[in-house]
Amino acid sequence: SLVWGNNHIFGHGDDSFQVTLSIGVAQVEDGDGEKAVRLADKNLYLAKELGRNRVVCGPGRVTAQLCTI
């Protein structure tokens, strides 16, 4: 699974902030762009539910897997 372990903090002191990244990926075989966006959106929210800094890919089902890159 792809999970970033390092957290980079930008800025200094009171002006600092941390960035996290969640990504949803989908692939469709029929060229249906709306379906691809819908599935990627579902995977994005699943990535957010699973924790920070994750990429989830798959068919958009609850059983979608964490991608390895």
Phi and psi for 10 in degrees, rounded to 5? -95, 145
Q: What is the pLDDT of residue 9?
A: 80
Q: In what order do the strands lie in the sheet with 54-57?
A: 22-25, 54-57, 65-66
Q: 19 — alpha (psi -120 to 50), left (phi > 0) or beta?
A: beta
Q: What string of pLDDT tens digits covers the 69 residues of the chain?
A: 344 455 678 888 899 988 888 888 888 888 888 988 898 898 888 888 888 788 888 764 444 455 544
Element (H, E) at 56: strand 54-57
Pure H helices in the chain:
33-50
Q: Please tell me the predicted confidence (pLDDT) of residue 7.
A: 64
